[in-house]
Each structure stands twice: as C-alpha cells, then as structure tokens.
A and B are shown apart, each in its own frame.
Chain A
C-alpha cells in the first residue's frame, strides 16, 4: 500500500511578534510542521506499518522550509521519502493553487498512491480546504474529520466524528482523507530516528510554471486588542483578588 501525507510547513506562531504598526514580524520565527499535520504523519506511518506499506510526504512551501531541521523532523516520524516544491510565491498561495502544486508533486512522484492523508487544518488559516481541492484536482473521493481508519482490501473504512454524530463510512481507494488530531498521537522522534532521517531520500524542486492564484491578499494586520484592566495579584493577596472578582460578578 502506498500512502502519501500532505505536510504544510509554517512559521512557529509562538515566535511571531506584532510590530508597532500591527504588522506581523516573522523574523524570529522558525519553520515548523503545522501542528495538526504531525498527527496526520503519525496516522500515515501507523497505517503503513500495519499494511506493509510505504509512506511519502509531500509539501508545497516557501524556500524558508527548505531547511535541514524541518526536513529531518518530517523524515524522522516514520516517513520513507519527502518531495517538496519550494517557491516564495507559495507564501500566499490559496487552497486552489496549493492543491494544484500538490497534484503536480503526486503526478510526478507518487501517481501509484492508494491514499493521501491531510491534517485537520493548517495553523495559519485552518481552512480545511486543501484536502477537498486536492481530491477535486485528482478526481478522487474525499472525507474529513476522520478519527479512525482501517484498510479493507481496496477500501478504507473510516470513523468520522462530527459534533453530534459519529459516522462509519467506506471510502473507495484511491482517495484523500483529512484526519482529526485525535486520530493518532504524534511520536517524539529520538536521536536514532533523527540521525536515520538524514540518510533518507528527499528532493526539493522549484515551481514548474507560474502559480495560478484565486485569492489576493490585501492586508494582514494584528487586530486591536480589547483593552483590559491587567490588575494582577500575588498568591498571598487572595483576599484582594477575591474582592475584585466578587465586584466584577455583581
């Protein structure tokens, strides 16, 4: 069984700062795997291990993601090979454009795939749309919010958890499946896995043609924060704190 997992590399939001003019300052931010994509990687690795399969990671990224540490991080999580397309025009690529690039990577390197796993949504936009767009581009079925999956011949039976019901759905392969973080707990790669990752095959290519975007970004700015009183008490001042809370609850 051949599994593909789509991994988005994003700036670590812990280190994105808001500048004086409310624009975002990324200069201190490392590139990391988008949080919930680590769960998708783990699900892919486990599925491959259980079904005698292989798993390759694909990513459409800016050139900043072409970073040894990030690539090793991806490859140390049970992934056999990484195919990345890196181009700075992908910085603001919309989900349609992103999916076209991912389809290009799949067609060129993994056209014999059985299953493509995507994460629940990226840390920056959380759109949950790249999976749908990719399925449309490849003309295969898609399902999202998947919390469990089991391979049965040429189908995958998934558990899909919605707010008020759980569905059991049989998905014919090949297909794109977007998994919820609950699907698997990401491993913490050890020294051995990280060293081995350095020897695994990975390729980074530029963008073949111009990017066809459908959304133009006009402006990105931090919102005005709701002003708060910021009255902070020490643990010993519990009486004063309780009095302030009681007053606020009136």
Chain B
C-alpha cells in the first residue's frame, strides 16, 4: 500500500509521515509551501510555488504528484490551504475527502459527527482522501530517504492573486503543553472581567484559554486559544470551565483532561454532567473566593 502525505507545517510533515508508515509500506510526501523535509518519506516532492503566489494556485503541481504516484490513500494535514488543494484533487478523482479521521481500521475510518455528539464509522468507496491529525496514530518515528523531486509551477487558468500578507503575532501560551488550563466562557460579562480568570490561572500555575464565542463573536481572546472541535484539543491534568455551558463542540477538546472543574450559575448546565467537581454559583463571587482559599 502506498500513502501520499500532503502537509504544510514541519510537525505535520514529520508526524503524518510517521503515521502513514503505520498503515502503508510506501510513503510519499508532497509539500507546497517551502521545501519538504528529507529522511521522513521514501520520496519527497517539492511542489514549486513562486514567491508571492497564493498556495492554492499550486493545485496543478499537487495533481501531478497524485497522477505520478497513484497512491492508495492520501493523508492531508487539515489546514485551510490543504483543504482546498486536497479537496480539488479529490474532486478530480471523483472522491470526497473524509474529514478529521480519528482512527483507522482497514478501509473503515472513524470521525466525529455533530461536534463529538457521535462517532461515525465510514468507508470511501473509491479513492481515499483523509484529513488527519497526528493524534490519530500511535507515536512513531518517521524514516526515509533524501530523494526529492521538484515539480515545476503551472499557474491555473483562473489564478488567485495574492496582494499582501500580514503576520499575526502569536499570543498566549501553548495550551497543549500546560498542566492546568483555565477556560473562560460567555459567563463573563465584560472583557475586563477576564482578569479574574487570569488571577486564578496565576494562583494555580495555569494558562488561560476560552470557548469559541470569546475568540470569535467578540475578540476578547486570540483565535488560537479557543478549545473544542474546531479549536484546540487538550489533555491537561486539570481543566477549569468558568461560565462555560458544556456544549459538546467545546467539551470534545477536553475529554482527555484528568480532572474537570466547573463553575456555572445554572445547576442544569450540561457542564456539570461532565465535571469531576462543580459549584453552582455566580463566578463573580466564586472565583475571588476560590483564589483566596486555595
């Protein structure tokens, strides 16, 4: 079996190649933006992208790799650019990309449905394209050769024009590496009130994250700090959910937390069914009291 890995980040390239090795005996890597890493696949393709071009314009190059290699399965790092590049190649092959595959059992793969409310087992009837995170595989080493082939750039007929790029500075801690994470939700009435959550974080040696609405509908928190099905997936020792209702889409991101602690004023909030310790109360009273008593 041959697997083609389409990856963007350095970690993604290495992790997906290592994972691909567990389900395939031949691993080929294709990278559009930047040069591919060597030593992690049996063959790597450097799909050329001229400086200043939108990555999506390189779809013909990715298609050329697919056509040349005829892989049995394509593993895609789930980034927005790859969703387009991988999706376009899948469409040409008359296939659907199966998203966010969490585990493999031969041709049957499992992913989440309704934000974790259910797990769905499914099978692609034709060509197999999966977006997949490194966590779907057992930890393993990537092995390979130094062979790199370059695919020359062919512009699409209706190209996108990249007019400018602005870097967004990363804010906040890398929550995936924290033992204690404090999650703030819509129970906070004002942005300034988040200071309370930060104070608790400081007290317990944790870092602050949030539910999606705090990073999106209002811009109180940076987008890279929200937890859940479309955000971060964490496994801290302790997770504090403060003013978070406990919707599945959020809770999926912390199912692997050792202990879940909840503060919510509504005793019927779903969060309490998923918490180890909870307190039914106003967070504006509970948090200061908790900081004082800890």
Identify B273's interface contact among A169, A172, A230, A237, CB under 8 A. A230
Known: A218-B121, A220-B120, A238-B279. A232 touches B256 (CB 8 A): no
> Within the assembled complex, what's the spacing in Å between the Cα atoms of A157 and B165?
13
- A97-136 CB mask vs B (1 if < 8 Å, else 0) is 1010000000000000000000001011111110011011
B122 and A216 contact, CB distance less than 8 A: yes
List B contacts of A219 (CB < 8 A).
Answer: 120-121
- A64-102 CB mask vs B (1 if < 8 Å, else 0) is 000000000000000000000000000000111101000
A165 and B95 contact, CB distance less than 8 A: no
> Within the assembled complex, what's the spacing in Å between the Cα atoms of A210 and B259?
49
Q: For residue B282, which residue of chain A has the nearest CB?
A: A235
A215 and B125 contact, CB distance less than 8 A: yes
Whether, in the assembled complex, A144 has its beta carbon less than 8 Å from a beta carbon of chain B, the answer is yes
List B contacts of A18 (CB < 8 A).
Answer: 117-118
B223 and A163 contact, CB distance less than 8 A: yes
A220 and B83 contact, CB distance less than 8 A: no
Known: A126-B230, A129-B96, A231-B276. A96 touches B123 (CB 8 A): no
Known: A234-B281, A242-B289. A164 touches B170 (CB 8 A): yes
> Within the assembled complex, what's the spacing in Å between the Cα atoms of A130 and B54?
21
Whether, in the assembled complex, A162 has its beta carbon less than 8 Å from a beta carbon of chain B, the answer is yes
Beta-carbon contacts under 8 Å, A23-55 to B: 24
A241 and B120 contact, CB distance less than 8 A: no
Instruction: Kindly provide the distance from the CB of A98 to the nearest chain B CB, expressed in whole angstroms.
Output: 9
Beta-carbon contacts under 8 Å, A129-175 to B: 129, 132-133, 135-137, 140-145, 157, 160-172, 175
Instruction: Kindly provide the distance from the CB of A32 to the nearest chain B CB, expressed in whole angstroms.
Output: 13
Whether, in the assembled complex, B148 has its beta carbon less than 8 Å from a beta carbon of chain A, the answer is no
Whether, in the assembled complex, B97 has its beta carbon less than 8 Å from a beta carbon of chain A, the answer is yes
List B contacts of A246 (CB < 8 A).
Answer: 293-294
Q: For residue A93, which residue of chain B has the nearest CB?
A: B96
Whether, in the assembled complex, B261 has its beta carbon less than 8 Å from a beta carbon of chain A, the answer is yes
Whether, in the assembled complex, A221 has its beta carbon less than 8 Å from a beta carbon of chain B, the answer is yes
A95 and B114 contact, CB distance less than 8 A: no
> Is the interface on chain B under 10, 10 to 19, 20 to 34, or 35 or more residues?
35 or more
Whether, in the assembled complex, A245 has its beta carbon less than 8 Å from a beta carbon of chain B, the answer is yes
Beta-carbon contacts under 8 Å, A197-238 to B: 213-223, 225-226, 228-235, 237-238
Which of A96, A145, A221 has the most CB atoms of chain B within a 10 A radius of its CB?
A: A96
A232 and B117 contact, CB distance less than 8 A: no
Instruction: Kindly provide the distance from the CB of B51 to the nearest chain A CB, expressed in whole angstroms.
Output: 14
Q: For residue A231, which residue of chain B has the nearest CB?
A: B277
Which of B98, B274, B279 has the most CB atoms of chain A within a 10 A radius of its CB?
A: B279
Q: How many residues of A contact B (CB 8 A)?
A: 78
Whether, in the assembled complex, B260 has its beta carbon less than 8 Å from a beta carbon of chain A, the answer is yes
A136 and B281 contact, CB distance less than 8 A: no
B290 and A241 contact, CB distance less than 8 A: yes
Identify A235's interface contact among B158, B230, B286, CB under 8 A. B286
A141 and B158 contact, CB distance less than 8 A: yes
B230 and A95 contact, CB distance less than 8 A: no
Known: A132-B91, A249-B204. A167 touches B117 (CB 8 A): no
> Within the assembled complex, what's the spacing in Å between the Cα atoms of A16 and B115?
12
List A contacts of B159 (CB < 8 A).
Answer: 141, 172
List A contacts of B164 (CB < 8 A).
Answer: 167-168
Beta-carbon contacts under 8 Å, B240-294 to A: 248, 255-256, 259-261, 267, 272-282, 285-286, 289-290, 293-294
List B contacts of A245 (CB < 8 A).
Answer: 261, 277, 290, 294
Q: List 18 A-B contacts (CB under 8 A).
A: A13-B115, A18-B117, A95-B97, A132-B84, A132-B91, A136-B88, A137-B91, A163-B223, A172-B159, A216-B122, A218-B123, A219-B121, A220-B120, A223-B119, A235-B286, A238-B279, A238-B286, A242-B294
Task: Kindly list 17 other residue pairs between chains A and B, CB separation below 8 angstroms, not including A126-B229, A170-B160, A249-B180.
Answer: A24-B117, A126-B115, A133-B87, A133-B96, A136-B87, A142-B56, A160-B80, A167-B54, A185-B217, A217-B121, A228-B274, A231-B276, A231-B277, A231-B278, A232-B275, A235-B279, A235-B285
